[in-house]
């Protein structure tokens, strides 16, 4: 045998190759297959041993890796393969009930609430149906759907272990991308590894008898007392060789994003404030100068509480009523107001807060006259709730971060500089600002960041609170405000295309994230 310092695991792996070469002239074996051999026993052991044998001083084997992307059905995908896509379920319902059209409002009786909007959108997008006077009209109820064909093909390929994305044509790949956004398909990366003998390795197994002797990894008292240590081969250690992967307990990716943002803001001199998730319409809407008949306040966007369905509102409701009705703060007229009759009973209704701006407003309202003379920098990170249909980019519950600065002489340029610094510290090197509109700030802006491969993406909104918002609170200084959705930030950091992946708690993804 050549002058190699081979330990037993290396000898065992070469022994397997020696037998394969002698029997069938095989020089390449999969890691999975080698792991099943009783001499090895695990893929970790195979890889560790192959790394030793591929080192510069030996070069007896090469490690070959082939990476592939695999399309797999999610749990939702398996369901729609069985019962059809939401749009197909509508067509099937019409067939079963001998209908030519169906009112849109009846979709809720056929589909889950989360499926209604996607079904309606895809019926129009795929030109399956016409929408006339609130009715869905499908002329061909036996239509062919390429997305369904693709889902069925993926199911068959999965069963045959042949779901590599390379097995699909360009049109199917586009359909797979759309189905992934709809949550029916997940794309996973798989790595196939094999070990191959080099020319040197082939010569080695041809010309050497490989003997496997007893090997010990540590000396015991018995070895020393008996003198057996003199005859034992002590296995050498290499601290640089990779060991089996261990996944210790760690924080959830969403929690880590929250902690990172907190650390940045505290480092920039902000302090955190907290408030309850249940608020009155007074604090959630009225104080922000949102009219009581604004569409965002109805059941389409807001969760209203059945119990308790009313809460207490402060005395300052009179000032808010005046600003809404006449644009007046005391004797001072600052705008036209909304010119409608303000209803205090509406203000008392309870809701799940729709934004964290309510924390900023309640903080400003709590300041004494003396405190209002001092500068303030505060932020809030918390859950907010909106009555959204669940899809790849929307959830009814998500995390939002809100921040404000109250100080004499601060202006719009200060806000731009602050946001650029904030986003730079979060790891976004390229930031640009665009004008925007928000109901309770003027002027307003949106900040966009450049993400390699995805281009410019809008990340946060900001502006200067309108006088109608701050003056009823007794504040006559400018207040800079901004907000950012942390779920979108998390999606960018981990390269996700579906917001639901953040909350599925899929163990393999959590281990790698």
Question: How many domains does the chain contain in total?
Answer: 3
Q: Coil, strand, or helix at residue 235? A: coil
Q: Per-residue pLDDT for 513 more than 90?
A: no
Taking residues 379-397, report their average pLDDT: 85
Under the banding of pLDDT at 50, 70 and 90, the label for residue 131 is confident
Residue 236: its pLDDT value, please?
Answer: 65
251 and 378 inside one domain: yes
Which among 60, 58, 122, 54 is positioned nearest to 90, based on CA atoms? 122
The reply to whether 102 falls in a domain is: no
Residue finishing a domain among 352, 381, 396: 352
CA 211 to chain centre: 53
The reply to whether 368 falls in a domain is: yes
The reply to whether 121 falls in a domain is: no
Q: Coil, strand, or helix at residue 90? A: helix
476 and 374 inside one domain: yes
Q: Per-residue pLDDT for 400 more than 80?
A: yes
Residue finishing a domain among 176, 208, 237: 237
Q: Per-residue pLDDT for 3 more than 60?
A: no
Q: Do residues 28 and 158 make contact, with C-beta atoms less than 8 angstroms apart?
A: no
Residue finishing a domain among 237, 264, 294: 237
394 and 489 inside one domain: yes
Q: What's the whole-number average pLDDT of the chain? A: 86
448 and 459 inside one domain: yes
Taking residues 416-430, report their average pLDDT: 92
Q: Do residues 349 and 365 make contact, with C-beta atoms less than 8 angstroms apart?
A: no
Under the banding of pLDDT at 50, 70 and 90, the label for residue 371 is very high
Taking CA 33 as the corner, what is the angle to CA 168 and CA 210, rounded to the nearest 5 degrees?
145
The reply to whether 123 falls in a domain is: no
Residue 4: its pLDDT value, please?
Answer: 60
Token look-up 């779920």 returns 487
CB proximity list for 161: less than 8 A, separation 6 or greater: none
The reply to whether 511 falls in a domain is: yes
* Runs of H (alpha helix) within 387-431: 412-425
Segments of 407-493 assigned E as strands: 431-438, 441-451, 455-465, 479-485
The reply to whether 19 falls in a domain is: yes
384 and 415 inside one domain: yes
Query: pLDDT tens, 240-285?
Result: 666 777 888 888 889 999 999 999 999 999 999 999 999 999 999 9
Taking residues 53-79, report their average pLDDT: 87
Q: Per-residue pLDDT for 1 more than 50?
A: no
Compute the distance between CA of residue 212 and CA of residue 188 in angstroms, rounded to an integer: 40
282 and 261 inside one domain: no
The reply to whether 413 falls in a domain is: yes
Q: Per-residue pLDDT for 302 more than 60?
A: yes
Q: What percent of the chain has pLDDT over 70?
A: 96
Q: Per-residue pLDDT for 210 more than 50?
A: yes
Q: Return binding residues for Mg(2+).
A: 442
Q: Return binding residues for L-phenylalanine.
A: 357, 440, 465
Six-digit token string for 441: 């700030």
**Residue ranges making up the domain that contains 399:** 247-276+355-513
- The residue ranking higher by pLDDT, 197 or 5, is 197
Query: pLDDT tens, 321-359?
Result: 999 999 889 888 998 988 999 999 999 999 999 999 999
255 and 295 inside one domain: no
| Highest mean pLDDT: which range of 128-132, 180-184, 248-252, 374-378 | 374-378
Query: pLDDT tens, 440-471?
Result: 899 999 999 988 877 888 889 999 999 999 99
- The residue ranking higher by pLDDT, 406 or 103, is 406
403 and 487 inside one domain: yes
The answer to pTM > 0.95 is: no
CATH of the domain at 432: 3.30.930.10
450 and 508 inside one domain: yes
Query: pLDDT tens, 136-157?
Result: 888 888 888 888 888 888 888 8
318 and 366 inside one domain: no
Residue 241: its pLDDT value, please?
Answer: 63
Under the banding of pLDDT at 50, 70 and 90, the label for residue 21 is confident
Token look-up 């809008």 returns 458
The reply to whether 253 falls in a domain is: yes
Residue 498: its pLDDT value, please?
Answer: 81
Q: Coil, strand, or helix at residue 54? A: coil
300 and 198 inside one domain: no
Q: Return binding residues.
A: 357, 440, 442, 465
Taking residues 37-50, report their average pLDDT: 87
Query: pLDDT tens, 153-191?
Result: 888 888 887 778 888 888 888 888 888 888 888 888 888
Radius of gyration of the chain (CA): 32
Taking CA 197 as the corner, what is the angle to CA 191 and CA 200, rounded to the nearest 5 degrees?
145
Taking residues 401-406, report their average pLDDT: 94
410 and 508 inside one domain: yes
């Amino acid at each position: 045998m050549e002058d190699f310092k081979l330990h037993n695991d290396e000898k065992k792996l070469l022994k397997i190759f020696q037998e394969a070469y002698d029997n069938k002239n095989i020089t390449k074996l999969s890691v999975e297959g080698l792991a099943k051999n009783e001499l090895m026993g695990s893929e970790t052991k195979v890889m560790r041993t192959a790394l030793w044998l591929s080192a510069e001083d030996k070069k007896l084997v090469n490690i070959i890796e082939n990476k592939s992307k695999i399309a797999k059905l999610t749990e939702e995908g398996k369901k729609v393969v069985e019962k059809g896509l939401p749009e197909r379920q509508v067509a099937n319902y019409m067939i079963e009930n001998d209908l030519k059209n169906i009112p849109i409002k009846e979709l809720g009786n056929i589909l889950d609430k989360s499926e209604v909007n996607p079904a309606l959108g895809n019926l129009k997008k795929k030109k399956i149906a016409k929408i006339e006077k609130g009715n869905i009209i499908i002329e061909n109820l036996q239509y062919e759907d390429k997305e369904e064909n693709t889902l069925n093909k993926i199911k068959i390929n999965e069963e045959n272990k042949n779901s590599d994305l390379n097995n699909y044509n360009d049109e199917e790949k586009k359909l797979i991308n759309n189905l992934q956004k709809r949550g029916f398909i997940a794309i996973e990366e798989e790595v196939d590894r094999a070990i191959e003998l080099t020319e040197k390795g082939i010569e080695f197994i041809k010309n050497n008898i490989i003997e496997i002797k007893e090997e010990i990894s540590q000396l015991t008292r018995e070895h020393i007392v008996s003198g057996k240590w003199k005859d034992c081969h002590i296995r050498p250690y290499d601290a640089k060789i990779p060991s089996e992967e261990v996944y210790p307990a760690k924080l959830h990716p969403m929690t880590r994003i929250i902690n990172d943002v907190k650390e940045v803001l505290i480092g920039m001199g902000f302090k955190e404030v907290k408030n309850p998730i249940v608020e009155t319409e007074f604090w959630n809407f009225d104080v922000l100068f949102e009219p009581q008949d604004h569409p965002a306040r109805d059941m389409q966007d807001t969760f209203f509480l059945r119990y308790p369905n009313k809460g207490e509102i402060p005395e300052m409701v009179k000032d808010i009523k005046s600003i809404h009705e006449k644009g007046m703060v005391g004797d001072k007229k600052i705008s036209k107001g909304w010119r409608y009759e303000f209803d205090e009973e509406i203000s008392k209704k309870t809701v799940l807060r729709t934004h964290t701006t309510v924390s900023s407003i309640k903080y400003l309202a709590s300041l004494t006259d003396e405190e209002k003379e001092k500068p303030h920098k505060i932020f809030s990170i918390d859950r907010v709730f909106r009555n959204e249909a669940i899809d790849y980019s929307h959830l009814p519950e998500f995390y939002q971060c809100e921040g404000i600065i109250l100080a004499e002489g601060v202006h719009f340029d200060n806000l731009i500089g602050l946001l650029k610094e904030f986003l730079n510290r979060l790891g976004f090197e390229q930031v640009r600002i665009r004008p925007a509109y928000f109901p309770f700030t003027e002027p307003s802006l949106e900040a966009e960041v450049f993400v390699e491969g995805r281009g410019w993406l809008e990340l946060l909104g900001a502006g200067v609170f309108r006088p109608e918002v701050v003056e009823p609170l007794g504040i006559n200084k400018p207040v800079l405000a901004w907000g950012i959705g942390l779920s979108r930030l998390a999606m960018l950091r981990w390269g996700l295309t579906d917001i639901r992946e953040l909350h599925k708690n899929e163990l393999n993804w959590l281990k790698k994230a």
